[in-house]
Chains A and B, each alone.
Chain A
């Protein structure tokens, strides 16, 4: 075990002495984040290019102040970059659009929604709360996360305790914990619970609701920075895999093999070295963007867990390339290609929710896709429980790739004749 660590630390040291590698690991993702950030107006606050344009559908049956404020908000200039809202009157058609992958989410504001929260007549105390409903497209958790976050920001300004009941429902719906058909019932139960404690104390500031619409901010960098970090994580791991073949050709791997060190320790050390490098890269990028761009990546512990899982899955790819390919040059070439393909597929440049189904399907083989889902969810205020799916997907990916690599290495040997 000791030798495994020594080999890993040696590799990390060597990478941090390699100026070209550092350029790719740190400068490139920073520069691209800034560049794309400028292009989307994240710094000036002006929206123009519409890099994301999440298609969402609003069905507003409410005709009250809250429903209108919501419509106003999604149409606001500040969100023009983020959302591509469409307004329908028929919930059925709207939901079919989710099923057909034509939109990321449907926000349904039922009739009487405003009224149930802000009763016209204080004496006619309503016991039934009408729920706002969010139908998320499960193939686009990132998009749904963004929409949910917007709704949360919207309602946080309303300061109505009851509303949190609706949000609890939206979260349950989205995570698939309950069936949409049961949502109302559960929502009712939660809502009633909340009502009991809130009756008579709700202070509703309607002006703030409208203000909330204009104050909703979404930092585009929160999407760009993890996208770029994950893309260049793929560079780091393929470069790490490459060093295995460089060492084989350069004689240091054979030299390790003739020292009293087992192949397991040597391979383990190389793998752990790649993992540590990737981990260090992500953590440094996160720290850097936090300090430089005031970016909030979300709950620190969950972020660290996700960083670890992303680095692990990416390491699997790095070692898999080394096991599959014959020369350092091949690993470099294939590694660069994979970095770009995964970057695009994983959603580093465009929102994958608007890509064809088969592309979305393929994107699942990239750590980028899952990592980005997770990081966006966390940036939107999610917690560890909300990123369980990406975390598990990344762990499965890592395990599968390690297994295949070990089989390949055991067939080919790592440097013996």
Chain B
């Protein structure tokens, strides 16, 4: 497999704040690559540099063989972008929006009309295409936003958190369509802070945090890196202080990590079942009420927790 995108030490600073700190990775033709990271990790900044909107502070990248700094026009023609925030004309209908953006990508006449119909079909808005975008629900707007990125059938599609803030049904539809697009040969760079999405979609994942790419590889590779560990998640009552529990739990033999987020304590351990009794005893002694307990097989969440000491959730 050849690389359609190569990134070398790409960095971006806003003033003296380093939003992206010299990251390097490759995306192979035909794969779905996810950039997984929490809010403010630098995902959008990375996408903006790769789509030639922002000039990198340092480093370089090539897309479809063209440099993103010297050959911007060729790069722009090769990629499609679905921005994180809706970028549509609310006073135009879906069809009018698609028509305008299609023409910005050089489509016209009959081929434009055909593509608009295909895309409307794909995003399931053929029957509502004539209504102004401002009358749409959040999910419908997101679908139009995605449709615009697909019109010119780019070889490489950037999708920046396309499922943020929408209902589960729309989200399902979007994830399925990403898989469909990929099946038809489109390479996708997908950013998200949902571990489940990265797990479901991607061939390979890059984990980004505070502007650093802290891990990269297929899911198996990444989960193997944390070893044969499970994650034990304790949901505790709101009136209690889970930090005291975490402190006690860390002293237990076999616990690799114990972290607190909101009202839950996440524990990484190779022996979850065996620890369970001890943990519950500690909680009782401390007067902490446990509402529910989850045990999870090794996953990306655990990888992130293991690498950063923090949970991925916001």
Which A residues contact B (CB, under 8 angstroms)? 2-3, 6, 10, 13-14, 17-18, 250-252, 254-262, 415-417
Contact = CB atoms under 8 A, between A and B. Distances in A.
Given A3-B103, A251-B83, 9 more contacts: A2-B108, A10-B92, A251-B86, A257-B52, A258-B52, A259-B76, A260-B76, A260-B104, A416-B55
B91 interface: yes
B113 to A, nearest CB: 15
B136 interface: no
Contacts of B96: 13
Nearest to A262: B73
B105 interface: yes
A258 B53 contact: yes
Contacts of B86: 251
Nearest to A18: B91
Nearest to B14: A417
Given A251-B83, A251-B86, A417-B48, A259 B105 contact: yes
A261 B92 CA distance: 21
Contacts of B79: 258
Contacts of B14: 417
Given A252-B89, A255-B83, A10 B76 contact: no
Contacts of A13: 92, 96
A139 B48 CA distance: 55
Contact of B104 (A18, A254, A259, A415): A259
Contacts of B121: none
B256 interface: no
B87 interface: yes
Contact of B87 (A14, A18, A251, A260): A251
B30 to A, nearest CB: 23
A260 B55 contact: no
B168 interface: no
Nearest to B87: A251
B73 A14 contact: no
Given A14-B91, A252-B88, A255-B87, A416 B53 contact: yes
Contacts of A10: 89, 92, 100
Contacts of A251: 83, 85-87
B106 interface: yes
10 contacts: A10-B92, A10-B100, A17-B91, A252-B89, A255-B148, A258-B81, A259-B101, A260-B76, A260-B106, A417-B54
Interface of B: 14, 48, 51-55, 73, 76-77, 79, 81, 83, 85-89, 91-92, 96, 100-101, 103-106, 108, 148
A415 B83 CA distance: 15
Given A252-B89, A255-B81, A260-B77, A417 B53 contact: yes
Contacts of B88: 252
B87 A250 contact: yes
Contact of B76 (A2, A18, A258, A417): A258
A242 to B, nearest CB: 15
Contacts of B48: 417
A227 to B, nearest CB: 31
Contacts of B108: 2
A356 B104 CA distance: 52
A248 to B, nearest CB: 11
B101 A255 contact: yes
B87 A252 contact: yes
Q: Which 8 A-B pairs have the closest CB atoms?
A: A251-B87, A255-B87, A259-B104, A417-B54, A260-B76, A258-B51, A17-B91, A260-B77
Nearest to A249: B85
Contacts of A252: 87-89
B53 A254 contact: yes
Contacts of A416: 53-55
A251 to B, nearest CB: 3
Contacts of A415: 53
Contacts of B105: 259-260
A252 B144 CA distance: 13
Contacts of B51: 258
A254 B83 CA distance: 10
A259 B87 CA distance: 13
Contacts of A256: 104
A122 B54 CA distance: 90
A153 to B, nearest CB: 49
Nearest to A258: B51
A188 B285 CA distance: 121
A66 B53 CA distance: 75
A21 to B, nearest CB: 11
Nearest to B85: A251
Given A260-B77, A417-B48, A254 B87 contact: yes
Contact of B89 (A14, A259, A417): A14
Nearest to B100: A10
Contacts of B101: 255, 259
A65 B98 CA distance: 75
Contacts of A14: 89, 91-92
B192 to A, nearest CB: 19
A250 B85 CA distance: 8
B56 to A, nearest CB: 10
Contacts of A257: 52-53
Nearest to A15: B91
A417 B85 CA distance: 17
A13 to B, nearest CB: 7
A261 B96 CA distance: 19
> Which of A17, A252, A256, A261 has the most CB atoms of chain B within a 10 A radius of its CB?
A252
A17 B52 CA distance: 32
Contacts of B103: 2-3, 6
A269 B77 CA distance: 20
A239 to B, nearest CB: 14
Contacts of A260: 73, 76-77, 104-106
A390 to B, nearest CB: 36
A142 to B, nearest CB: 39
Nearest to A265: B104
Contacts of B89: 10, 14, 252
A3 B91 contact: no
A13 B96 CA distance: 11
A251 B85 CA distance: 7
A413 to B, nearest CB: 10
A241 to B, nearest CB: 18
> Which of A17, A250, A258 has the most CB atoms of chain B within a 10 A radius of its CB?
A258
A3 B53 contact: no
